């Protein structure tokens, strides 16, 4: 399973990189979204995907999934959400002010960069 | 802190008080407040003469940074004292001269004297420090204060150019000297010059010895304006004349000479030292005197003359090092060169100082320094004329002035090179006397040009801005004192031989125990080769001077393009343009380019590490089994993420991103992570709505198009994906130890009274993370609020200005 997941994560990273190299600001943000999904999955996979009960003591199982990567991912999800939201509003404002979402055209004027 | 330390830093202390004196006593020329200090210091240093005359030294230490071995150790020996007397003595005369030279109503006197005092203190520090790092500190202080003084009239472009040029060149040399000091420290473990000299025999074979030698010499050559670093000195003539007289003839340019002399006991046994010091010196001597003849500005002539005389002293110091290779240092046969170097050092300071002051007087009283406009001033300025005669004749090496004696000794030293049979001197050594003689002829010519073109010939009143007249007495005192020294030393050279010259020589070449140098200077050598050389110089010099207009065209033959100044300017411009173009080349302002750099570096660095370290490992023993549902989900997420790359509409890509997010959430369900699944579901929903909010309500984008396919982008993204996959596989196959999860499983209820392990970790075991994650959300929320609410009206206008 981990091997399959490694390839899935690789595909997510690949798509994210390709999107981030494009000109459209929206696509760049979509790319960062994909990248954070990839990173979260990577943390989970690297923690080990051995079958066990969900990390709830009430289950009275003999083995549990590793709770630490889950806690880490939860933190990461919230932070990436905060950053994405900020980034999105920034893009929205940039579009409002500059009238473009083409990154190539968002440049300082000559002598002002 | 001893009195000696106080003497060194007293100029700095006085510099603090100068602006107060300037503001409080506007009627009195600020220079009068400065004048007592150098006089006091001069008399203080005179009191050391009795100690150094016996070739003894005084050392006083003051702790500065003891943990790094940096102590402010002041050492007064023959060489240090000689320089201290020059600095304070000429310093006093220059201050006196400047009082009459600078107008108290027109000039910013406070800055002038602050800079001058900074310089004086720094110079004293250079010559009296025994600790190399302290010496370096003061050394940079001299560069810095010299920069300020050259740029004193900062509204003139040439002053700024000259100041910048001298700064660049001397700081370049200073940094190289610092490197040399550090190399010496690595070899000997100490910064103290005395201790380094004591270890000089042991470091002689050290591989760092030659680099240290080269670095130190580079510092000395740049400071002392040796070829080809002499180019800053003529441009430094934009400084006020008292500054030129003080810094650029008597003191700062001799700091390099001082350094060479001071480090001679460490390095002089090496053949490279002899060849470099003597070779660069003699070339500088020749080039400086040759170039001086074609100048038309009085101060430019004097600048090139200083360059050439410094080269002469330098070459003498280099040749003097040869004495160390023979049985006994006491054999004064070859040490005569060192004696001559010290003697000429004193002589040069006296006559060059007075000549600069004379040039300043001429400038001050006629309004020009151009010798083509000057002439026939003899009748207007008889005293200045007399002073000029004394100075120039001493410079040309004519009897009975002191320059004659040192030039004779110079020839003696150079002729004796022929008898040395070391370091190939028997083959190439003949160049030294020949170059020395030719350079002396040129020296004679420019000296005569200096005095006769200015003071004799036709008087041209129509070209002068002012009606010339004799200078005020106050301005004449300093050059008169210096010129009388020229004559006194000329007639009675031996009054300084045992008090100043021999002790200095003993510092440059430490003699064996109990030996005392006896630098007796004879006026009459008998009919020696030197005498005939001098006669030849005078004869040929007079002939060439008389026919100067005829052969002056020789100078036009030298193409302007090969001039060193052109080279320097070109180098500055090329380096500026090259770095500008280089930066433009890779900093092109497109975010894609920078991302390409970052990703490429990421791929190359990680893939190379994997490959070089042979880290890639593929191990299937530890993997979990695969179920159909998971394969389906994996295929779905892969398909969705790849489809995003090809869709045209932005809306579709947002929806596909949502699909990926929900699939991730399903993965979390399968992998037994309920909290993650919940959070992911909610957050994905909000994110997608935010995406839609942000872009749905905007006016429709004019034309939506697919991402244009670019091969580099595709390659880089495939590379990133492959590297991540490889690292993931390799990391998973290389598990080093088990998880620490067992602790949490056991203690979640026992210690923290909870059953949801993830939640207990988040708020109990690792609650700090959560606190700052909350902070992140808070900041993001405030940031978004601010971005939407704050609209600075003026912002747009200012930007377009």
Residue B337, domain member (yes or no)? no
Higher-confidence position of B693 and B601: B601
pLDDT band at B180 (very low <50, low <70, confident <90, very high): very high
pLDDT band at B633 (very low <50, low <70, confident <90, very high): very high
For residue B332, is pLDDT > 70? no
- What is the model's pLDDT at position B424? 64
What pTM value is reported for the model? 0.82
Task: Tell me the nearest-neighbour CA distance from B583 into chain A, angstroms.
Answer: 13
Mean pLDDT of chain B: 85
Task: Concatenate the DSSP letters of all residues of B72-116 into one string.
Answer: EEEEE-HHHHHHHHHHHHHHHHHHHHHHHHS-TTTS-HHHHHHHH
Residue B68, domain member (yes or no)? no
- What is the model's pLDDT at position B12? 92
Residue B325, domain member (yes or no)? no
How far apart (Å, rounded) are the C-alpha atoms in residues B545 and B26? 49
For residue B334, is pLDDT > 80? no
Q: CB contact, 8 Å: B570 with chain A?
A: no
Of the listed ranges B74-88, B123-137, B364-378, B507-521, the least confidently predicted one is B507-521
B404-410 average pLDDT score: 84
Domain span at residue B801 reads: 743-801
Instruction: Tell whether B645 and B687 lie within a shared domain.
Output: yes
Instruction: Tell whether B641 and B659 lie within a shared domain.
Output: yes
- What is the model's pLDDT at position B328? 55
Instruction: Tell whether B765 and B728 lie within a shared domain.
Output: no
For residue B315, is pLDDT > 70? yes
Instruction: Tell whether B756 and B735 lie within a shared domain.
Output: no
Task: Tell me the nearest-neighbour CA distance from B618 into chain A, angstroms.
Answer: 9
How far apart (Å, rounded) are the C-alpha atoms in residues B376 and B354? 20
B180-202 average pLDDT score: 88
Residue B280, domain member (yes or no)? no
Instruction: Tell whether B736 and B611 lie within a shared domain.
Output: yes
Residue B50, domain member (yes or no)? no
Q: CB contact, 8 Å: B691 with chain A?
A: yes
B395-402 average pLDDT score: 83
pLDDT digits (tens, 9 = 90+) for B420-446: 766 666 667 778 888 888 899 989 988
pLDDT band at A74 (very low <50, low <70, confident <90, very high): very high
Q: Between A and B, how many CB-CB pairs are < 8 A?
A: 267
How far apart (Å, rounded) are the C-alpha atoms in residues B474 and B100? 6
How far apart (Å, rounded) are the C-alpha atoms in residues B103 and B80? 34
B80-93 average pLDDT score: 91
Q: Where is the domain boundary, B720, B742, B764?
A: B742
Residue B432, domain member (yes or no)? no
Higher-confidence position of B618 and B632: B632
- What is the model's pLDDT at position B515? 65
Instruction: Tell whether B659 and B725 lie within a shared domain.
Output: yes
Residues of chain A neighbouring B637 (CB-CB closer than 8 A): 8, 11-12
Task: Tell me the nearest-neighbour CA distance from A32 into chain B, angstroms.
Answer: 10
pLDDT band at B698 (very low <50, low <70, confident <90, very high): low
Assembly ipTM:
0.94
CA distances in angstroms from B183 to B140, B174, B203, B205, B611, listed in the order given: 18, 14, 11, 14, 39
Higher-confidence position of B491 and B460: B491
Q: What percentage of chain B exceeds 90 in pLDDT? A: 28
pLDDT band at B550 (very low <50, low <70, confident <90, very high): confident
Cβ–Cβ < 8 Å for B315, B354: no
Q: Which of A4, A38, A45 sits opposite B626 (nearest CB)?
A: A4
B401-411 average pLDDT score: 84
- What is the model's pLDDT at position B560? 62
- What is the model's pLDDT at position A113? 45
Q: CB contact, 8 Å: A32 with chain B?
A: no
Instruction: Tell whether B613 and B704 lie within a shared domain.
Output: yes
- What is the model's pLDDT at position A70? 92
Q: What are the residues whose beta carbons fall under 8 Å from the beta carbon of B103, sequence distance 6 or more?
A: none
Higher-confidence position of B666 and B509: B666
Of the listed ranges A79-88, A97-106, B226-235, B480-489, the least confidently predicted one is A97-106
Domains of chain A: 2-49+66-106 (1.10.287)
Q: Are strands B58-65 and B70-76 parallel, antiparallel or unpaired?
A: antiparallel
CA distances in angstroms from B54 to B49, B75, B335, B511, B614, listed in the order given: 9, 15, 19, 13, 72
Instruction: Tell whether B764 and B796 lie within a shared domain.
Output: yes
Instruction: Tell whether B738 and B664 lie within a shared domain.
Output: yes
Q: CB contact, 8 Å: A9 with chain B?
A: yes
Instruction: Tell whether B637 and B660 lie within a shared domain.
Output: yes
How far apart (Å, rounded) are the C-alpha atoms in residues B339 and B409? 8
Residue B550, domain member (yes or no)? no
Q: Which of A9, A54, A74 sits opposite B724 (nearest CB)?
A: A9
Q: Where is the domain boundary, B710, B742, B774?
A: B742
Instruction: Tell whether B628 and B688 lie within a shared domain.
Output: yes
For residue B732, is pLDDT > 50? yes
Q: Where is the domain boundary, B709, B725, B742?
A: B742
Pair of tokens at residue B349? 């300071």
Q: CB contact, 8 Å: B65 with chain A?
A: no
Instruction: Tell whether B632 and B680 lie within a shared domain.
Output: yes
Question: Do the Cβ atoms of A6 and B716 come within 8 Å?
Answer: no
pLDDT band at B800 (very low <50, low <70, confident <90, very high): very low
How far apart (Å, rounded) are the C-alpha atoms in residues B429 and B274? 11
pLDDT band at A12 (very low <50, low <70, confident <90, very high): very high
For residue B704, is pLDDT > 70? no
- What is the model's pLDDT at position B526? 67
Q: What percentage of chain B exceeds 70 in pLDDT? A: 93
Which chain B residue is nearest to residue A54, measuring alpha carbons?
B672
Characterize B644-655 residue by residue with b for buried, 16 or more Cβ atoms within 10 angstroms of its Cβ, and e for exposed.
bbebeebeebbb
Q: CB contact, 8 Å: A99 with chain B?
A: no
- What is the model's pLDDT at position B181? 93
Residue B773, domain member (yes or no)? yes
Q: Domain tally for chain B?
A: 2
Name the residue with tokens 């006559």: B351
Burial category of B789 from C-beta neighbours within 10 Å (exposed 0-12, middle 13-18, buried 19 and up): exposed
B408-413 average pLDDT score: 84
């Amino acid at each position: 399973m981990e091997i399959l997941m490694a390839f899935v994560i690789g595909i997510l990273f690949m798509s994210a990189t390709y999107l981030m190299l494009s000109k459209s600001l929206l696509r760049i943000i979509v790319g960062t979204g994909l990248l954070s999904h990839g990173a979260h999955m990577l943390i989970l996979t690297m923690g080990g995907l051995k079958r066990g009960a969900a990390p709830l003591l009430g289950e009275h199982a003999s083995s549990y999934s590793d709770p630490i990567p889950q806690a880490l991912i939860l933190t990461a999800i919230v932070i990436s959400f905060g950053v994405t939201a900020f980034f999105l509003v920034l893009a929205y404002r940039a579009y409002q002010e500059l009238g473009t979402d083409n990154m190539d055209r968002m440049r300082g004027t000559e002598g002002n960069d | 802190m001893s009195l000696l330390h106080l003497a060194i830093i007293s100029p700095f202390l006085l510099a603090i008080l100068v602006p107060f004196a300037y503001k409080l006593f506007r009627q009195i020329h600020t220079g009068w407040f400065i004048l007592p200090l150098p006089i006091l210091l001069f008399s203080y240093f005179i009191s050391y003469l009795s100690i150094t005359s016996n070739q003894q030294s005084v050392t006083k230490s003051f702790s500065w940074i003891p943990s790094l071995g940096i102590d402010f150790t002041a050492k007064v020996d023959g060489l240090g004292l000689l320089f201290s007397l020059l600095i304070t003595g000429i310093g006093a005369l220059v201050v006196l001269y400047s009082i009459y030279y600078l107008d108290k109503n027109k000039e910013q006197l406070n800055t002038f004297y602050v800079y001058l005092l900074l310089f004086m203190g720094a110079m004293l520090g250079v010559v009296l420090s025994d600790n190399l790092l302290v010496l370096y500190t003061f050394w940079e202080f001299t560069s810095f204060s010299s920069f300020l003084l050259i740029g004193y009239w900062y509204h003139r472009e040439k002053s700024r150019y000259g100041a910048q040029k001298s700064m660049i060149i001397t700081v370049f040399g200073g940094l190289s000297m610092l490197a040399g000091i550090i190399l010496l420290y690595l070899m000997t473990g100490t910064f103290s010059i005395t201790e380094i000299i004591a270890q000089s025999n042991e470091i002689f074979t050290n591989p760092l010895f030659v680099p240290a030698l080269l670095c130190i010499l580079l510092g000395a050559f740049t400071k002392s304006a040796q070829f080809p670093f002499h180019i800053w000195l003529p441009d430094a003539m934009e400084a006020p004349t008292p500054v030129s007289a003080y810094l650029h003839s008597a003191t700062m340019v001799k700091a390099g000479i001082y350094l060479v002399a001071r480090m001679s006991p460490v390095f002089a046994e090496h053949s490279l030292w002899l060849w470099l010091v003597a070779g660069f010196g003699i070339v500088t001597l020749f080039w400086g005197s040759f170039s001086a003849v074609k100048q038309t500005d009085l101060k430019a002539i004097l600048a090139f003359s200083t360059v050439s005389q410094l080269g002469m002293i330098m070459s003498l110091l280099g040749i003097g090092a040869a004495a160390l290779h023979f049985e006994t240092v006491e054999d004064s046969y070859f040490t005569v060169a060192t004696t001559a170097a010290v003697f000429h050092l004193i002589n040069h300071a006296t006559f060059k100082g007075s000549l600069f002051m004379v040039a300043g007087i001429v400038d001050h009283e006629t309004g020009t320094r151009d010798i083509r406009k000057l002439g026939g001033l003899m009748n207007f300025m008889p005293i200045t004329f007399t002073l000029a005669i004394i100075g120039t004749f001493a410079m040309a090496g004519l009897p009975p002035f002191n320059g004659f004696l040192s030039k004779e000794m110079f020839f003696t030293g150079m002729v004796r090179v022929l008898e040395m049979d070391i370091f190939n001197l028997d083959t190439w050594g003949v160049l030294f006397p020949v170059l020395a003689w030719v350079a002396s002829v040129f020296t004679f010519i420019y000296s005569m040009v200096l005095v006769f073109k200015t003071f004799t010939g036709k008087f041209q009143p129509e070209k002068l801005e002012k009606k010339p007249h004799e200078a005020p007495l106050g301005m004449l005192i300093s050059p008169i004192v210096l010129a009388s020294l020229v004559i006194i030393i000329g007639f009675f050279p031996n009054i300084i031989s045992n008090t100043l010259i021999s002790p200095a020589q003993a510092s440059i070449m430490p003699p064996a125990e109990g030996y005392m140098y006896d630098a007796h200077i004879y006026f009459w050598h008998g009919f020696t080769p030197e005498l005939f050389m001098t006669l030849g110089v005078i004869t040929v010099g007079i002939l060439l001077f008389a026919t100067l207009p005829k052969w002056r065209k020789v100078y036009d033959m030298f193409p302007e393009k090969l001039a060193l100044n052109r080279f320097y300017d070109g180098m500055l411009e090329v380096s500026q343009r090259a770095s500008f173009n280089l930066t433009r080349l890779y900093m092109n302002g497109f975010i894609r380019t920078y991302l390409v750099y970052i990703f490429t570096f990421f791929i190359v660095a990680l893939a190379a590490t994997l490959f070089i370290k042979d880290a890639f490992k593929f191990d299937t023993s530890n993997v979990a089994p695969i179920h159909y549902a998971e394969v389906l989900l994996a295929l779905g997420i892969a398909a969705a993420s790849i489809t995003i790359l090809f869709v045209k509409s932005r809306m579709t890509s947002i929806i596909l991103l949502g699909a990926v997010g929900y699939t991730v959430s399903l993965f979390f369900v399968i992998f037994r992570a309920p909290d993650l699944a919940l959070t992911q579901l909610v957050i994905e929903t909000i994110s997608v709505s935010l995406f839609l909010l942000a872009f749905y309500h905007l006016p429709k984008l004019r034309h939506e198009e697919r991402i244009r396919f670019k091969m580099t982008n595709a390659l880089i993204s495939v590379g990133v994906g492959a590297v991540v996959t490889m690292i993931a596989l390799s990391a998973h196959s290389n598990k080093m130890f088990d998880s620490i999860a067992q602790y949490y499983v056991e203690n979640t209820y026992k210690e923290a009274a909870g059953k949801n392990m993830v939640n207990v970790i988040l708020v109990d075991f690792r609650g700090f993370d959560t606190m700052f994650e909350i902070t992140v959300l808070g900041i993001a929320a405030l940031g978004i609020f601010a971005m939407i609410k704050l609209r600075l009206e003026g912002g747009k206008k200012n930007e377009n200005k």
